[in-house]
Amino acid sequence: MNSFFGYETRILSNILERGDLVIMYTLEDLGLLRAESEEIPVWKSNKPWRISYFSMNRERIMEYASGSKEKEPVSEPSSVYENLPEEVWAR
């Protein structure tokens, strides 16, 4: 994430390339980022200009970094076959 944000806590979304946006939305789905926007008035016009950006969710990032996030147990790959019914094995 440092390669995107550097020492900042948010980044404008319009400077990101398509592949980078996919990464940002994935991190948002994990709760590590927040997609936010704000509107500012444009000078000499009453039209608002919307600025979209991603900001870090520091609490969630620290939770993941400290390992306090509860992880799902990972079973052995071979255990998948133990739960299959016998008719699956017949040809």
Q: Which conformational region is residue 23 in: left (phi greater than 0), alpha (psi within -120 to 50 degrees), or beta?
A: alpha
Domain region containing 21: 2-88
Q: How much is the pLDDT for 74?
A: 61
Amino acid at site 70: E
Q: What is the pLDDT of residues 23-52, one digit of tens each?
A: 999 999 989 999 999 998 888 887 888 999
Within 8 A by CB and 6+ apart from 50, the residues are: 37, 38, 39
Count of domains forming the chain: 1
Q: What is the pLDDT of residues 49-76, one digit of tens each?
A: 899 999 999 898 888 888 865 666 666 7
